[in-house]
Amino acid sequence: MIKILYVIEPMLGIGPNMDANLIAKKVAQKFANKINIKIVLEKDFFSKKQSKNISWECLSPWRFDFINDKLVDLNGKELSESDKRERAQHLIKICKNYKPDVLLLHNYMSGSKWDSIIDFEMLPLIEFAKNQNQNLKVYSYMIGMLDGFENVSDTEAVFFLESIKKNIDKIFLRSDNLSLFIKTCPPAKKIKNYFLPIGYSGNDEFVKKIIDVADKFIVVSAGGGDIALNLFKKSIEACSLLDDYDELGKYKWIIFLGPMQEKNKKILEKYIESYKCSNKINLFVGADEEDFLSYLMYNCIISISQCGQRTFTNLEMAGVNSIVIPRESNGKEFEQLYRALYMENIGRAKLIRERDLTPEILIRNIKEIYKDIPKKIGIKMNGPENLIRNILDLSVVSNIIKK
Are residues 140 and 230 part of one domain?
A: no
- pLDDT value, residue 258: 84
Q: What CATH number is associated with residue 354? A: 3.40.50.2000
- pLDDT value, residue 402: 46
Are residues 131 and 224 part of one domain?
A: no
Are residues 355 and 385 part of one domain?
A: no
Are residues 290 and 259 part of one domain?
A: yes
Are residues 20 and 160 part of one domain?
A: yes
- pLDDT value, residue 349: 97
For 48, list phi and psi in degrees, rounded to 5.
-115, 125
DSSP run (H or E) holding 290: helix 289-298
User: Could you say which DSSP state residue 302 is in?
Assistant: E
Are residues 356 and 292 part of one domain?
A: yes
Q: Can you give the C-alpha Rg of the chain in angstroms?
A: 22
CA angle 17/18/20 to nearest 5° reads: 65
Are residues 223 and 172 part of one domain?
A: no
Which phi-psi region, left, alpha or beta, contains residue 107 (left: φ > 0; alpha: ψ -120 to 50)?
A: left
Number of domains in the chain: 2
- pLDDT value, residue 278: 95
Domain range for residue 18?
2-204+381-398
pTM score:
0.92
pLDDT per residue of the chain (403 residues) written in tens, 0 to 9: 999 999 998 776 778 888 998 999 999 999 989 999 999 988 755 566 778 899 999 888 888 887 788 999 888 899 999 999 999 999 999 999 999 999 999 999 999 988 999 999 999 999 999 999 999 999 999 999 999 999 999 999 999 999 999 999 999 999 999 999 999 999 999 999 999 999 999 877 778 888 888 899 999 999 766 678 999 999 999 999 997 667 899 999 999 998 778 889 999 999 999 999 999 999 999 878 888 999 999 999 999 999 999 899 999 999 999 999 999 988 888 999 999 999 999 999 999 999 999 999 999 999 999 989 988 999 999 999 999 999 999 987 666 544 4
Task: Give the full edge-to-edge strand order of the sheet including 102-106.
Answer: 54-59, 35-42, 2-7, 102-106, 137-143, 170-174, 195-197
- pLDDT value, residue 74: 80
- pLDDT value, residue 403: 41
- Given a contact cutoff of 8 angstroms between Cβ atoms, the answer to whether 363 and 242 are in contact is yes
339 in any annotated domain: yes
Are residues 263 and 128 part of one domain?
A: no
- pLDDT value, residue 398: 67
Are residues 308 and 254 part of one domain?
A: yes
